[in-house]
Amino acid sequence: MIRSDIRDMAAYPVPNSEGLIKLDAMENPFSLPAELRKKWAKMLSEVPINRYPDADMLALRSKIAQRDGVAAEQVLLGNGSDEIIQMLLMASDAGACAVPSPSFVMYDVVSHWLKRPVTTIPLNKDFSLNADSFLQICGREKATIAFLACPNNPTGNMWSRETILRIRENFKGLLIIDEAYFPFADTDYLDLIGDNVLVLRTFSKMGMAGLRLGYLLGEEKLIQHLNKVRMPYNINSLTQASALFLLEHSEVFDAQVACIVAERKRMSGALQAMVGVEVFDSQANFLLLRVADADKLFQDVLAAGILIKNMSKHHDLLRNCLRITIGTEDENNQLLAALEGSLA
């Protein structure tokens, strides 16, 4: 009754984090100021939940469009950007989905659900991406869609503009630039939107992961077609109202993001100074580390009450690598102490 390939699949693993400092999932560690929280709660109490949500969401799309300097017609909203990845894979031409490896796992996972072949292009040892091998493999495997996470997850690095430009100029399929971490990065590729290029963004990493709201930016014509495979009421009323309200107070998130970026720099320096730790450059709200024994370090850190992500078994290039999300100053200091203890 259930497809055999689905039966053989493992469900997406979410570890139990009860009672732990949670530095595993790229969440913003800060909560909302109490005053704002109160106003937000009052506003939510007035949302008519007996009615279906606004299906067109023009107000929210306009707000987002204005923030990012595009037109409301260029914005498609998803229940997290994960849902938009699914829409893109449903609506695009049949053929292989090309993804660098290692990268974000959902491109691969959703392709499998939809029985689309996946073509992986290995990153270089320093996690850079070779545009020519990318294009060569895409050509050979007849890829019709490609996802480039900029910055990349789980490595944290940003591929250069030259690399992205070279791929854009020569790739004939749909090119999705996934900017889930753009609030933390020095550059973005929004200006590259065009005939076959779309930019995917989300509010998750900057502080609204619980709302589940992602969005796609692109040319109006493409957005119109993709909108046809969107579930009519995919963004619930509480999320729509919350996002509209919170984006009116975006200075709160801007300050939190600035704080996370400053902490990332401090953590990177502190970790570099530790013997036995290699730290990779990151433009996101996390850092990738390599140590001699990632399994031991992960367990020691867990025993100290902190959950991070052990990437060691995910990919050959990630052997003995761990990914740590940047937390509050206090959380980060506790992590540093736990790492020091484990490495001593």
Ligand X SMILES: *Cc1c(COP(=O)(O)O)cnc(C)c1O
In angstroms, the CA 230 to CA 219 distance is 17
Distances (CA, A) of 60 to 55, 198, 219, 241: 11, 19, 18, 9
215-253 per-residue burial string, b: 16 or more CB within 10 A, e: under 16: bbbbbeebbeebbeebeeebbbbebbbbbbebbeeeeeb
Q: Which residues neighbour 48 within 8 Å (Cβ) at sequence distance 6 or greater?
A: 237
| 111 SS3 class | helix
| Nearer to ligand X (CB atom), residue 11 or residue 34 | 11
Phi, psi of 119 (to 5 degrees): -110, 120
CA–CA distances in Å: residue 223 to residues 4, 53, 197, 219, 260: 34, 20, 11, 6, 32
205's tokens:
């990493």
At residue 108, what is the residue type?
D
When the beta carbons of 114 and 292 are compared against ligand X, the nearer one is 114
Does 81 bind ligand X (CB under 6 A)? Our answer is yes
The interface mask with ligand X, positions 153-192, x = CB under 6 A, is x------------------------x-x------------
| Dist CA 22 CA 5 (whole Å) | 32
80 touches ligand X (CB under 6 A): yes
Cis amide linkage into residue 122, ω under 30° from 0: no
The whole-angstrom separation of Cα 286 and Cα 181 is 10
Q: Which is nearer to ligand X, 260 or 339 (CB)?
A: 260
| Of 284 and 338, CB closest to ligand X | 284
Applying the rule CB under 6 A, the residues between 10 and 39 that interact with ligand X are 26
Q: Which range in 77-85, 186-194, 220-228, 334-342 contacts ligand X by CB under 6 A?
A: 77-85
Note whether 285 binds ligand X by CB under 6 A: no
Which CB atom, from 120 or from 334, has the smaller least distance to ligand X?
Answer: 120
Cis omega before residue 151 (within 30°)? Answer: yes
Q: Which is nearer to ligand X, 318 or 339 (CB)?
A: 318
Residue of this chain nearest to ligand X (CB atom) = 80
Position among 104, 184, 189, 298 found at the interface with ligand X (CB under 6 A): 104
CB of 114 to ligand X, least distance (A): 17
Q: Which of 24, 82, 188, 263 binds ligand X (CB under 6 A)?
A: 82
* Interface region with ligand X, contact rule CB under 6 A, candidates 57-65, 76-84, 119-127, 168-176: 76-84
Q: Is 60 exposed, middle or buried (0-12, 13-18, 19+ CB in 10 A)?
A: buried
Which residue stretch of 117-125, 201-209, 238-246, 293-301 sits at the interface with ligand X (rule: CB under 6 A)?
201-209
Nearer to ligand X, 79 or 342 (CB): 79
149 contributes a contact to ligand X by CB under 6 A: yes
Q: Least distance to ligand X from the beta carbon of 203, Å?
A: 7
Binding status of residue 202 toward ligand X by CB under 6 A: yes
Q: Whose Cβ is closer to ligand X: residue 178's or residue 263's?
A: 178
HSE-CB of 266 using CA atoms within 13 angstroms: 16
Per CB under 6 A, the list member of 204, 282, 334, 342 interacting with ligand X is 204
Identify which of residues 318 and 338 has a Cβ nearer to ligand X in the complex: 318
Tell me the closest approach of the beta carbon of residue 118 to ligand X, in angstroms: 16
Residues that bind ligand X (CB under 6 A): 26, 80-82, 104, 149, 153, 178, 180, 202, 204, 209, 214
